Amino acid sequence: MFFGSFAWSFVYVSLPFHIQAISTVDATATLRWTGWILGISSLVTVVTAPLWGRWASAGDPKAFYVVVEVLQGLGFLGMAAARTLPELFLARVVLGVMGATSTFAFIMAGRAPESGEVRRRVAGVQSAMTVGQVVGPLGGAIAAARIGFRESFVLGGVLLWGCAALVRWGVPSTPAAGAARAVERPVRVGDVARVSLIVLAGSTQVFFLASILPQILPELGVASPRTLEVGGLLIFASGAAAALGALATPRLGELVSERRLIVLLLAASSGCLALLGAAHSVWPYGVLRFLQVLCIAPVFPLVVSRIAQHAGGGAIGVINSARIGAAFVGPVVATTVLAWTAPSALYLLLAAMGLACLPLVAAARSRATRA
């Protein structure tokens, strides 16, 4: 998961700047194109991830992981070959159809027999992804600035093929599908829906930033020639916070009850987001962003581990689709709102999304008490 996440982050950080470079439309239209191009892969994957999850749950998740990584590498080459915004949009659609390898990783993580072990495994998968997100943006920004956007996309595809080879020959196979299904049991649709909505809102608070960096960095006093590298540093800091938050999840779960912890983390993340509008230079902005991601990062493994142990591949695929869908919702909401109003309004909207999840946590608590 580290190398796969690294490759995606490596490419993702420079994509908004590449869109600006090849755009032939005005600034407002380019901003809308940016949101849709960045987010469309995730929107399509929201539909395909549950299907991939069912197929992998009935077969070998490792084999599915390898095949999808190879296909995604080809998709990166398609991005490099695109010469217009519609062509780039189409390449991103195709990438979305290929699904997400994280679905297969979470299926394997959920096959542990004990809930604490499931929490550790889910946190480990998320940590691997977020550590990749720590290193990837900085390397991708430097590579794009030095060798060019399209060349960096090709390099990202090669990294995905190397990841597929590493999993194919370096990771042991999972238990047979029949043995894995023995620990599965039906889960309530309401439980899956509540977890998915919390994951969607929390992940949206993480994924919105990259799409608006070309617009907000000059307002924070960053000179135009340095926006790409400073943007990479901001994404780097966000990834570092996400990695630290995920690594701390098992310990936090032992110190504080899960539901109370989730409420505190959602409230703290939303508070930091609301304060972003008060930052007038890049350093306070970066510190607030670091704290915000540090707070929201543990929410995903906390809410997912409670359901992943006994859920089938379809349910895990639905929940992971919510996380992936946030990578669509975040950029589209951010660029759409920013096209009409100030960044501070966007930050308040994202903060409200996190606070709106608090009743969902309370509803899950009430159901558990009645049970």
Q: What pLDDT, in 10s, does the model give residues 326-365?
A: 877 888 899 889 988 899 999 999 999 999 999 988 765 5
Q: Does residue 9 register a pLDDT over 60?
A: yes
Residue 332 lies in a domain: yes
Instruction: Choose between 158 and 45: higher pLDDT.
Output: 158
184 in a structural domain: no
With a cut of 50, say whether residue 182 has pLDDT above it. Answer: no
306: in domain = yes
If 0-12 CB within 10 Å is exposed, 13-18 middle and 19+ buried, where does residue 40 land?
buried
pLDDT at 179 over 60: no
Q: What mean pLDDT do residues 27-38 have?
A: 86
> Once rounded to an integer, what is the mean pLDDT over residues 54-62?
75
Q: Is the pLDDT of residue 123 over 50?
A: yes
Cα(81)–Cα(70) distance, integer angstroms: 17
Q: What is the mean pLDDT of residues 292-306?
A: 85
pLDDT of 366 above 70: no
Euclidean distance between CA atoms 199 and 333, whole angstroms? 16
Residue range 299-322: average pLDDT?
72
Is 60 exceeded by the pLDDT of residue 232? yes
Compute the distance between CA of residue 173 and CA of residue 162 in angstroms, rounded to an integer. Answer: 18
Count of domains forming the chain: 1
- Token pair 């991601």 in the structure block, residue: 293
How much is the pLDDT for 7? 86
Pure H helices in the chain: 2-12, 15-22, 27-58, 61-81, 85-97, 101-109, 115-147, 149-170, 177-181, 189-207, 213-219, 227-255, 258-276, 282-296, 299-308, 313-340, 343-355, 358-370
Is residue 199 classed as helix, strand or coil in its secondary structure? helix
**Domain span including residue 341:** 2-172+190-363
Domain-located, residue 370: no
Hey, what are 133's tokens? 């997100």
For position 245, which CATH number holds?
Answer: 1.20.1250.20
Q: What percent of the chain has pLDDT over 70?
A: 85
Residues 6+ apart with CB under 8 A from 308: 106, 109, 110, 118, 122, 316, 319
The region, left, alpha or beta by phi > 0 then psi within -120 to 50, assigned to residue 60 is: beta
Residue 278, phi then psi, degrees to nearest 5: -90, -10
CA distance 254 to 250: 7
Report if residue 161 sits inside a domain. Answer: yes
Question: Is 346 inside any structural domain?
Answer: yes
Amino acid at 323: R
> Which pair of tokens denotes residue 259?
């539901």
- Mean pLDDT estimate for the chain: 82
Between 235 and 354, the higher pLDDT residue: 354
pLDDT band of 107, cuts 50, 70, 90: confident
- Scored b (16 or more CB within 10 A) or e, 79-98 reads bbebeebeebbbbbebbbeb
- How sure is the predictor about 291, in pLDDT bands with cuts at 50, 70 and 90? very high
49 lies in some domain: yes
- Is residue 263 within 8 A of residue 361, CB to CB? The reply is yes
